[in-house]
Amino acid sequence: MSPLLTIDSLSRSFGGVYALRDVGLTVAEGETRGVIGPNGAGKSTLFNLIGGHLTPESGTLRYAGRDLGRLTPHVRARLGIAIVFQGARLFRGMTALENVMVGAHARTRHGFLAGALRLPRHRREEARIRADALAALERVGLAGWADRAADVLPLGQQRALQVARALCARPRLLLLDEPASGLRAGEREALGGLIEDLRAEGLTMMLIEHDVAFVARLADRVSVLDLGRHIAEGTPAEIREDEAVIAAYLGQAAG
């Protein structure tokens, strides 16, 4: 498998303290990569750098052979990078379907004037987006919730709705920042099944999680961060046996 994402010597600090320091890794096309580490290890900073919400102090990010440089989050979304953030970020006062349709904004072709005048090309595009949003809701098991207010959905369904919104953008790389956080056992199981389905379809994903068993079930390979450094990488089985990982992360969880 060829690399879709290549990270080389990536660093970012806040107030003189490094959140990431000289991190390097590659993610292959079609791979599901787990990213684990203790609190403050730099996991979310890594995702924000990939998504363009933060800029690196040094190092490079290459995606599909292209240097991301200082491209904005919107441009990166157009290139196929989508993020599902840890907190449930929904547009209140909008239905589930309308929330998912927002996810397609990065690939819309017609501007405000066409929309305001309700020109035929805008109506055709809106119809396509609506169909894609309905398909995304179906994909995550929320087709029956399409016309419900998004903010009344239970947390598990809200998380699935976020995934549907990301999928509506037709991503090539999907970043999942602790998607199972706060979910009940049944909700976690449903989310895990959804991620397994996306993995089987060949979607490239990166997954931040504290639950090592959840990551081990879903990831092809796992990267481990500690104090901003990339200290280990391997299969879930290899990571479980890595002494540096046991000391930095798994040992804390067990102790």
Q: Tens digits of per-residue pLDDT, 191-247?
A: 999 999 999 999 999 999 888 889 999 999 999 999 999 999 999 999 989 998 888
Q: Locate tokens 């699935």: which residue? A: 160
For position 44, what pLDDT does the model report? Answer: 94
Q: Are residues 9 and 115 in the same domain?
A: no
Q: Are residues 23 and 41 in the same domain?
A: yes
What average pLDDT does this structure show over 114-119? 49
Enclosing domain of residue 65: 1-80+171-255
Q: Are residues 122 and 181 in the same domain?
A: no
Q: Are residues 245 and 210 in the same domain?
A: yes
**This model's pTM is above 0.75:** yes
Q: Are residues 213 and 228 in the same domain?
A: yes
∠218-101-169 over CA atoms, to 5°?
45
242 lies in a domain? yes
- The domain total for the chain is 2
pLDDT band at residue 118 using 50, 70 and 90 as cut-offs: low
Q: Are residues 177 and 75 in the same domain?
A: yes
Pairing of strands 58-63, 3-14: antiparallel
- Does residue 112 surpass a pLDDT of 60? no
Query: Which pair of tokens denotes residue 13?
Result: 């600090």
pLDDT digits (tens, 9 = 90+) for 17-73: 999 999 999 999 999 999 999 888 999 999 999 999 999 999 999 999 999 998 999
Q: Are residues 130 and 201 in the same domain?
A: no
- Does residue 116 surpass a pLDDT of 60? no
First to last CA, the chain: 38
pLDDT digits (tens, 9 = 90+) for 63-106: 999 999 989 999 999 999 999 987 757 888 899 999 999 888 76
- Does residue 111 surpass a pLDDT of 70? no
Q: Are residues 253 and 175 in the same domain?
A: yes
Q: Are residues 166 and 178 in the same domain?
A: no
Q: Are residues 108 and 55 in the same domain?
A: no
201 lies in a domain? yes
85 lies in a domain? no
Q: Are residues 54 and 127 in the same domain?
A: no
pLDDT band at residue 165 using 50, 70 and 90 as cut-offs: very high
Higher pLDDT, 66 or 249: 66
Choosing from 170, 202, 234, the residue where a domain stops is 170
Choosing from 148, 170, 192, the residue where a domain stops is 170
Q: What is the CATH number of the domain that holds 182?
A: 3.40.50.300
CA gap 209, 67 in Å, rounded: 27
CA gap 82, 74 in Å, rounded: 10
